[in-house]
Amino acid sequence: MVTPAEKWKAVVHLREAFGMSERRACKAIGYCRMTMRYRTIGADEADLRQRIRTIAQERRRFGYRRLHVLLRREGYLINHKKLFRLYREEKLTVRRRGSRKRAIGTRAPMLVPMTPNARWSLDFVSDQLTDGGRFRILAVVDDCTRECLALVADTSLSGIRVARELDRLMIERGKPRMVVSDNGSELTSKAILAWADQSRVAWHSRRANPCRTPSSRASTVGCGMSC
């Protein structure tokens, strides 16, 4: 299938190489003369394109829909259809997961917050029932008080369900200033990005590592042993 841009180039080639008139060249290619004479009057998109490329390089596992949430958070007024067109024109794609590489050097430990609701940690644990069915538990922990704020158990915990549980927890406990989690699919979904944007809560995702969310894992194990 020949795109309109390729037809436009073909008409220009016939006129320059063979001296054909615009009417004859458009008729030979099957291209509309009104489209040939059209000149775009859209705004300059250089800054927007540069920002899309920058975010796509920083968030390699984010598609255009997740980029749309981040751009809207920064104040860019653009609908998802136009963003998808620019995303394709820039030849951007979601990077496939490669082999896991070990980090070089030492990582700086996260500082322990000094006030409640300064930072919450989220983590998932899973187990298996006697009949073979598996279930997961979402643990929410206050990193200052080391209190386990919530344990949500279910066979499936999507990003929408996590956002709903966080809304319920905010009504009971108040709003945190930051939420820390790993980069699992549920915790980096579009629903979580939209929740963080609407709630004005800083969401920090890191690679799954036992050293990154120690309070969450420790509290989950402690609650499991006490039960």
Q: What's the confidence (pLDDT) of residue 151?
A: 92
Q: What is the largest CA-CA distance in the chain?
A: 87
Predicted local distance difference test score (pLDDT) of residue 213? 46
What is the structure's pLDDT at 149? Answer: 93
Return the ∠ at Cα 58 (arms to 55 and 63), rounded to 5°. 60
Please name the residues in contact with 68: beta carbons below 8 A apart, sequence gap of 6 or more: 78, 80, 83
CA dist., res. 83 & res. 55, Å (int): 13
Q: What are the structure tokens assigned to 155, written together? A: 């066979």
Q: What are phi and psi of 172, to 5 degrees?
A: -85, -40
Residue-level pLDDT at 223? 46
Phi-psi region of 48 (alpha: psi -120 to 50; beta: other; left: phi over 0): alpha
| Whole-number pLDDT of residue 22 | 93
pLDDT digit of tens for each residue in the chain (227 aa)? 788 889 999 999 999 999 999 999 999 999 999 999 888 776 778 899 999 999 998 888 888 888 998 898 888 888 999 999 999 988 888 877 666 666 555 556 677 888 999 999 999 988 888 888 899 999 999 999 999 999 999 998 999 999 999 999 999 999 999 999 988 888 888 888 889 888 889 888 876 554 444 454 544 444 444 44
Do 76 and 48 contact (CB within 8 A), yes or no?
A: yes
